[in-house]
Each structure stands twice: as structure tokens, then as C-alpha cells.
Amino acid sequence: MDGYWEQFKAPFLCFAGFSGVGKTTLVERLAARFQEENIRVGYYKHDSHRFKMDKTGKDTARVREAGAGIVAINDPTHFAVLADNDFKQLTITHALERCDCILIEGYKQSPFNKIVFLDAEGKLPIPSDSRGIRAIVHQGAGVLEPFIEQGIPLFHRDEVEKIFDFVNGHFKKCASTLYGAVFVGGQSKRMGKPKFSLTYDGVSGTEKAVNALNKFCDKVFLSSRADLDMSSLPMIKNAERINDEHTQLGPVGGLATLMGRFPDKAWMITACDMPFLREEDFDIIFQERDPLRYGTCYVQKGRLGYEPMCAIYEPKFIVPLFEAMSRRELSLSRIIGELPFREVKINEGDRSKFTNINTPEDYKIARSKPEQEKEPS
């Protein structure tokens, strides 16, 4: 059994059954449905027999037979890699790491989560009490009552839409643990004093943000510059400070530090200078979260702009984030715009909620707004 699948980041599901029961046909139709939803799906075929994907006499075949452990070929739209098993983990991980989810055909004897197919006579390819069975696909034959009694979902193999909903829902349940972070490390040059300590109705914007994130996140942190003196901020419970390891890069550097420290966690982030955001605004993106995307964020009407500081970033966002840093792309909005994100539209009347407080004049207006007088319960 290929144990490295257990550490694979993208959610995957196996489709197991005897030959000829319709596994490939169903997987093909599911792949098409995921593509319609703009979800990048990978396919992995586990073949217990030997296979051959090259043609005798072709360049790649000749070099491979001469002893090359890996051969690769590409044209303007495709690439392919053939590798010995010694290189399997590296090449498979590299090829599939950008997929949002993976459909695996095979591995019926593994403990992995799987959908199992009954044959035309209603027979299972594995014992009914095998580990990892999440659903049964049948052809209308066989005794189905025992599976119903066990609470195992049953689908006819032609119920593609129902199976898609089940598989998509299963993948979304595999979501990573959500951590939260309030960014407090801005320079505050226009304000003239640290924005993290500004108060609204006697409570700092930092503490208000921490309290909001604590409702949705397992842990909440303060993302800060290492040289920032935060002694003027009263101690906030349940909010450990993490200093930026990537300096002079703004929120991009802060998020890269967080994701590098906890690469298996998703992150809900906000900033200390956005006092108009309420718990309900974070609840919306929490409920709308799609872990199969790179993240979930608010977007202004007509794609006028993303709101990267009230957003969720999934663990796989770390790859394009570090790639962007390497080319000095320091705009989270532009990085988001290049990736499949779950977009939550901002209502016209709610646009002011995402206002940043940058100057003494902004702060004066913010403190006078009636929305700041009471925090919703």
C-alpha cells in the first residue's frame, strides 16, 4: 500500500470494485462535474497489473530502456512523466499537489475512504465490514437492506448528481483546522500612534477583532513586526503573538510567516484597524468557506476589489503565496485574483464595513458612528 497518501494535503476518495462495474465511467462523469464547478480535480489510477504508456522505438522509450529513472515529455499544452517506483512519491506529489481534490480508482484493500461498487449480481469486492467504506454504488441488483441498516449511503450508479453532491460534501468535510490572526504590525505613520491600541467604546480594535475570531477559530494569534512595542496594549487572553519572519513585506510577509509556522492549518485573518467589521461578517465567510478552493474572501460588486484582510486562506495557498513573494508581488488582492477563490459578494450598503482607519480624522469619524456604540450579542 502506498502510505504516502496518508500525508497528502489534497482530499482524495477511492473508487473500488470489480472490473466492468462502471468505476471509470462514473469517475469520468464526476470529473466533468467538478470541472463545471471550476474545481481542479486530479485522477490517479492504481493498477495492480503492469502497464506501458510508451511506444517501442520512440525517443523516450529508447532513453528509458537505456537506464533513465525518469523521463519526461511535454508539448505546448501537456506534459507526462514516466518514473521508476524509486521516484514515485516525488513525482506523484509534484504532479497532484495543485489539485483541489483527487479521485483514485483502485486501492480496494486499503483503509482509505472509498466508494465501493457492487457487481451485476450484487456482490462486494471486499468484506462489508472493511475500513473506509463511505458509500455503496449498485446496479439495482443484490440485497441492499444490510447496508441500509448499517447507515451506509446507497446510490444507483446512474445517480451521478447525487453521487457528486455526496463526494463534494465529503471533500468539504475534510477541511483543515481553522486558526485566526489579527494583523497589528502596520507602521501607523499617518495615524501618528499605534493603531493596535486605538479604542472603540473602551475596547481596543485589536481585542474586538480577537474576540470575533475566537468564535470561529481554534486558536487566534497577533501577527506583528518583531520590533513593534506593544506594551501600550492591555494583555489580551488567548492571543499569542507571532513576529514576522519575512520583514518589510506587509501582510504578505505576515501571512507567509503564519502559514510557514503551521502549514497544515487554514487561516482566517483580519486587521486591527477595521473596527466596522462585526462577528456576523466573519460568520458569513465561515459559513461560505469552500476548502476545495485556495480560500474564501469578500469581493466588491463587479469585482471592484477583493478584501484580503477579511478572508480565509486554505493550507495550499502557501505555494502561490511563496511564489509571489519570490517575485516581490506584495499585493494579496492580486495573488487572490490569479487563483480559484470562493467569492462572497459585498452588498452595496455594507461596503463601508471594510474601511481602514488610517488617520486621526478617520478615527474621529469612526468613534462617532452609531454602529460603534454597541457590539452585537
pLDDT in tens, 185-194: 777 788 888 8
List Cα–Cα distances, 202 to 208, 272, 339, 352, 367, in angstroms.
10, 15, 40, 22, 10
Nearest in space to 339 (alpha carbons), one of 321, 357, 361, 325? 321
Q: Give the residue, 49 or 340, on which the prediction is more confident.
A: 340
The mean pLDDT of the chain is: 87
Residue 201 binned pLDDT confidence (cut-offs 50, 70, 90): confident
Range from 62-71, 101-110, 305-314 carrying the lowest mean pLDDT: 62-71
- Among the ranges given (11-20, 96-105, 342-351), the one the predictor scored with the smallest mean pLDDT: 96-105
Q: Is the pLDDT of residue 342 over 60?
A: yes
**Overall average pLDDT of the 284-294 stretch:** 95
Query: Which range has the worst mean pLDDT, 63-72, 242-251, 253-262?
Result: 63-72
Q: For residue range 202-224, what is the model confidence (pLDDT) as tens digits?
A: 899 999 999 999 999 999 999 99
Separation of alpha carbons 60 and 78, rounded Å: 15
d(CA 322, CA 364): 38
Query: What's the pLDDT score for residue 374?
Result: 43
Mean pLDDT over 101-120 rounds to 91
Question: Residue 332 and residue 322: Cα distance in Å, rounded?
Answer: 11
376, pLDDT greater than 90: no
User: How much of the chain, in percent, has pLDDT values that exceed 90?
Assistant: 56
Shortest CA distance to 286 belongs to which of 339, 216, 182?
Answer: 216
Helix axes 23-36, 160-173, angle to 10 degrees: 70
- According to the model, what pLDDT value does residue 8 have? 59
Reported as a pLDDT band with limits 50, 70 and 90, residue 92 is low
pLDDT of residue 85: 65
pLDDT of residue 6: 54
Task: Map out the domains of the chain with their CATH numbers.
Answer: 3-52+90-173 (3.40.50.300), 178-372 (3.90.550.10)
Asked if the model's pLDDT at residue 20 lies above 80, the reply is yes
Q: What is the pTM of this model?
A: 0.81
Q: Which amino acid, one-letter code, is at 18?
A: F
**C-alpha torsion sign, points 273, 181, 98, 33:** negative
Least confident of 39-48, 145-154, 348-357: 39-48
Exposure of 266 in the CB half-sphere (CA atoms within 13 A): 24
Q: Is the pLDDT of residue 299 over 90?
A: yes
pLDDT at position 88 is 57
**Residue 332: pLDDT above 60?**
yes
pLDDT of residue 302: 56
Strand-by-strand arrangement of the 342-345 sheet:
240-243, 219-224, 178-183, 266-271, 306-313, 295-299, 342-345
Contact (Cβ atoms closer than 8 angstroms) between residue 139 and residue 120:
yes
pLDDT digits (tens, 9 = 90+) for 134-156: 999 999 877 888 888 889 999 99
